[in-house]
Amino acid sequence: MRVVLSALLLLLCTATPAQAATIDTVTTASVYGCLRTNGAGVYDATAKKTFATYSGTKHDIYIKAFDHTTNTWSAAVKVATLNLTHDNAYHDYPVLTQLADGRLAVFQATHGKNLHFYTAPTAHSITGTWSARVISSDRTAYPEPVVDGNTIHVFYSQNTEISYPYRVYRVIKSTDSGKTWSAPKTVIDSGKTADRYAEVYAFGVTRSANRIYLTWSQHGGPKGHNGGGKNIYAGYYDTSDSTMHTIGGASLGAGVEPAELQQTRVVTTNPLDLPEGKALPEENPVAVRLPDGTVVLGYGVHTKTSAKIVLAHFANNAWTSTTVDSSTSLFKDIAIVGNGVEFVYATADRKRLISKTWTPGSAAAAKWDLTVPYASGADTTFYADFVENRVSPGISVIASTIDYETRKTNHTAKWPIFAVRD
């Protein structure tokens, strides 16, 4: 049932006079899933519905639909039973997209093992029994699907050698809407660096025509697997010839090799200059391509003495960075709006979620500012993802809440997933 917090929002949230926003509760029964910056929701213009997926009790995969004609949420449909209760189960989250024929599809990695592909039985609908099959056994982690007609690219980190630590970034491809899949192809490989920051962790994967923009950091370090991180890198994968390029267009051949990694570095960070409790310097870097062909990289970054949200604009073969908030680093997502971008982030105290718009050369403009509807002990908004193919007015963001302290050990769904309607 949709819950509109009209009276509560008068007291608890601040919205810009130009545009109000409201919160819908998608579910009150989710567990922690470490979703990246896409795959939480998709809008279907044919069905006039927004679909949202999430992890329920024991990390079973669920999906719900919001009907924009009746303004109601459907009952939850179970996509798959995972029945997971181990402390690393949060890695096995679902990623939602839609195929060319209108069927919904969910990708999910059994972390470091297999990649699963679930599809709805009918187009523009979630009802019925979903099909399920394994499409890769390449030690997959963190799947990022990109659909372009009948062609699907699925990017992922491979658990190459966790003991070093060492992870490369790979892709598999289907040209028949998922019926058959190519062999894996490595697109980013740092090599086993001497400082051991050799794990490729991608955050943003976005498409613009035949370019798929990848944004990542290098994790690992002397503390071992994901023990630290440094720098922000960006490049794009050209689907017309399956090659990697720098943001400026320089060809890197079939993939980024160790000697070429520095050509893709956009932001340099110091893995030793971090505040207490933080192992990683960056927050969710994502690159998007504007209609004029220039690129905007949005991210959060922090040191022992600073925290900020930054938009870096690549034009005329150079980056220009603009700090749009110097009180927090909790960047969540970015999307194209007109000739500029909309971006969403959380305040440092994690109590509010803020959306702003920005066009290069202009100041950032507030769109909405909402108090997060925490419940059942939740205290952190983990992801806040823009809905794929979203329309305005409509549901723009799907976000999760968790209790940070118990997020990895709780497997009984009790935390809310919420949607922002603007």
pLDDT in tens, 386-401: 999 999 899 999 999 9
The number of residues in the chain equals: 422
Tell me what pLDDT residue 19 has. 56
Overall average pLDDT of the 55-73 stretch? 97
69 pLDDT more than 80: yes
Q: Are strands 307-315 and 295-302 parallel, antiparallel or unpaired?
A: antiparallel
Q: pTM of the predicted model, to two decimals?
A: 0.94
Q: What are the pLDDT digits (tens) for 17-35?
A: 445 899 999 999 999 999 9
Q: What is the pLDDT of residue 330?
A: 98
Q: How far is CA 113 from CA 116, 134, 143, 156, 160, in A?
A: 10, 10, 12, 12, 11
Sheet holding 352-358, edge to edge: 14-15, 365-371, 352-358, 340-346, 330-337
Beta strands in 184-306 (DSSP E): 185-188, 199-208, 211-219, 229-238, 243-246, 265-267, 282-289, 295-302
Distance from C-alpha of 146 to C-alpha of 153, rounded to nearest angstrom: 5
d(CA 37, CA 18): 27
Which tens digits make up the pLDDT trace of 107-121?
999 999 999 999 999
Cβ contact 37:203 at 8 Å:
yes
How many whole angstroms separate alpha carbon 95 and alpha carbon 118?
Answer: 10
| Structural domains for the chain | 6-421 (2.120.10.80)
Does position 9 have pLDDT exceeding 80, yes or no?
A: no
Is the CB of residue 66 less than 8 Å from the CB of residue 50?
A: yes
